[in-house]
Amino acid sequence: MKKHESKINIAVLVSGSGTNLQAIIDAQEKGILRHGEVKIVISNKKDAYAVNRAKKHSIKAETVIKEGQNSQDIFENSIKKILRENDIHLIVLAGFTNILSQKFTSEYKNKIINVHPSLIPSFCGKGFYGIKVHEEAINYGVKVTGATVHFVSEIPDGGKIIMQKAIYINKGDTPETLQKRVMQKAEWIILPRAIEKVCVEMLKNGGCASN
């Protein structure tokens, strides 16, 4: 990254409908995200609606499909090629369901962030994603949950925490109602703010975030 650049180039990796992507785009258009710009959206699902969201806002989008169980290197190398071609400085995982290898995360150390729908270290790690996180929170009986934005490391949900926001669990909540509220009241708020925070730090440090 050249020192005179005033914005961090961002790639958002997605797998589904792209509601968190939309929150990032909205924040960018409203000026909440000022020191970063989404340059490309990369999906690992050919029918992901997130790709349509990107195109509606004139953001480039690519689809990279993992074929078979032994193709992680090929899959990740394809992503790396797109990142290089678009001069990407920061990778944001927004509902991205493929676990990136240690080789990939170490190559992009302190340059990958993720949003997780719980207050890490609760209800996180391998196998904890999507609605399962909220099912476990309700079944366990906790009164407070929320969302966490963190750096990505080789340990699933194990990187340094950047930002968190708590949400109370209401009596009568279902996993579905809780999931919706955590997204709207936590994820969509802290993800753009955390991205802005990391972008500012990267610009100060010549393209690297501290961890």
Q: Is 164 left (phi over 0), alpha (psi -120 to 50) or beta?
A: beta
Q: In sequence order, which residues have a C-beta less than 8 Å from that of residue 150 and are 6 or more positions away?
A: 113, 114, 116, 120, 157, 159, 160, 161, 162
Query: How far is Cα 202 from Cα 90, in angstroms, rounded to an integer?
Result: 9
Query: What span, in angstroms and rounded, lies between the C-alpha atoms of 112 and 89?
Result: 9
Q: Is 4 marked active-site? A: no
State residue 142 phi and psi, 5-degree precision.
Answer: -70, 150
Three-class DSSP category at 69: coil
Which residues, other chains included, contact 153 with Cβ-Cβ below 8 Å and sequence gap of 6+?
105, 109, 159
Catalytic residue among 89, 116, 134, 150: 116
Phi and psi at residue 3, to the nearest 5°: -65, -25
Beta-strand (E) ranges in 64-179? 90-93, 112-116, 144-151, 161-168
Active site residues: 116
